[in-house]
Structure 1
Amino acid sequence: MNDGFHLLDIVFFAMIAAFLVLRLRSVLGKRTGHERPPEKWTAAEPETAEVIDLAQMRRSAFEPAAESPMGRGLAAIRGADRGFDLDGFLGGARAAFEMIVGAFAAGDKATLKPLLAPEVYRHFADAIDTRARNGESLTTELVGIRSVQPIEARLDDGFAVVTLRIVSEQVNALTSHDGQIIEGSRDRVVDVIDEWTFRRDTRSSDPNWLLAATRTPEE
């Protein structure tokens, strides 16, 4: 008799466990092996409606309140450019940051030119030329990018303008012609905070954004 009740208990608890598993799958969605890493915003096509809902929740974390100045600025940009996607823009800005930082350190003006607005390119090129004349070299290792956060957005006479606060970890060393360190360190990782402004003419068929201004915020 006791064995019979024991068997019924096992069956009862197994049914409860199966019910809980099904509920968790319905809420969290199934893992497919193509889940989006936390720091990236490109993902495989979601397979269930639940995964789509979670992706939307992740995207909304970057979206400011609609009534805020930046929210109104993004709305104006979307009004002029129906294809504007904030997540896609942030991913592109992250990639551009990596390319620009690396190209500037390497003195690669050919890579920099199509990524920068003319006035910014002139400043970067002048700095590269000054280093070359002085026999100096800049070594930069981008250890990682902690965050890319929009802080300002507006539509300015047909130009979409978005400013980002970029927090990264870098190793920077400026050395003289004889290898002496003038500034920075070859083995010390430092936090670097930049505010970069990107700009695009919404009336142009060219989809590319250009770096239009850079600054280091005051502590």
Structure 2
Amino acid sequence: MRTIDRNFDPQHFLNGAEAAFRMIVGAFAAGDRTVLRPLLSDDTYRSFESAITGRETAEETQRSEIRSIEGLTIEDAALSGTMAAITLRIVSDQVAETLGRDGRPVAGADAVAELTDIWTFERDLAQPDPAWRLSAARSG
């Protein structure tokens, strides 16, 4: 990445990615589309928005609490034209559960679990905007 962007600092990127991870997980659980919109690519936003709408329709709420980040590593970096993509493996201890309209758990548990996520952030290096946006997310 440094050959394309001389100012790229992997540690600075990882610090920003951790902050984004915490913001995105919290905003997704809260259904906060305003926070999510600038942090996600268009396709990823549509996917998250659809899941939030599904929860709202089912009258479910999600509770997510990140207790700690146990690992944050760069797994891959790629460049396609001016689009840069960096894939991370994020290992975190979280409490994550979905509650039904009656407040009872529908999925997850009120207990700390170690979760591994594979997230890809992308940025158009030809644009002046320095923000990286989440373009893919999956469990790993």
Q: Tell me which interval the TM-score lies in, with the shorter structure as reference length.
A: over 0.9
- Of 72, 76, 82 in structure 2, the residue corresponding to residue 152 of structure 1 is 76
Identify the residue that residue 139 of structure 2 maps to in structure 1.
216
Aligned structure 1 segments of 4 or more residues deviating by more than 3 angstroms: none
Residue type at the aligned position of 1:100: I
| Structure 1 or 2: more strand by fraction | 2
- Of 113, 117, 125 in structure 2, the residue corresponding to residue 194 of structure 1 is 117
Partners of 2:41 and 2:117 in 1: how far apart?
17
Partners of 1:180 and 1:89 in 2: how far apart?
38
Partners of 1:172 and 1:185 in 2: how far apart?
6
SS state of the match for residue 79, structure 1? coil
2:52 equivalent to 1:125:
no
Partners of 1:79 and 1:128 in 2: how far apart?
39
Partners of 1:157 and 1:215 in 2: how far apart?
25
Query: What's the TM-score, normalizing by structure 2?
Result: 0.97
Partners of 2:132 and 2:81 in 1: how far apart?
16
Identify the residue that residue 45 of structure 1 maps to in structure 2.
none
Q: Which has the larger radius of gyration?
A: 1
Q: How many positions carry a matched residue from both structures? A: 140
The superposition leaves residues 46-91 of structure 1 with CA deviations (integer Å, 9 ceiling, x where unpaired) of xxxxxxxxxxxxxxxxxxxxxxxxxxxxxxx222212111110000
CA RMSD of aligned residues (A): 0.8
- Of 167, 174, 179 in structure 1, the residue corresponding to residue 91 of structure 2 is 167
The superposition leaves residues 21-50 of structure 1 with CA deviations (integer Å, 9 ceiling, x where unpaired) of xxxxxxxxxxxxxxxxxxxxxxxxxxxxxx
Residue type at the aligned position of 2:70: R
2:11 equivalent to 1:94:
no
Residue type at the aligned position of 1:89: F
Task: List gaps (5 residues or longer) in structure 2.
Answer: none
- Contact 1:80 1:158 (C-alpha < 8 Å) held by counterparts: no
SS state of the match for residue 3, structure 2? helix
Residue type at the aligned position of 2:60: E
Task: List gaps (5 residues or longer) in structure 1.
Answer: 1-76
- Contact 1:167 1:192 (C-alpha < 8 Å) held by counterparts: yes
Q: Identity, % of aligned pairs?
A: 44
Partners of 1:93 and 1:82 in 2: how far apart?
19
Residue type at the aligned position of 1:200: R
The superposition leaves residues 89-120 of structure 1 with CA deviations (integer Å, 9 ceiling, x where unpaired) of 00000000000000000000000000000000
Identify the residue that residue 31 of structure 2 maps to in structure 1.
107
SS state of the match for residue 171, structure 1? strand
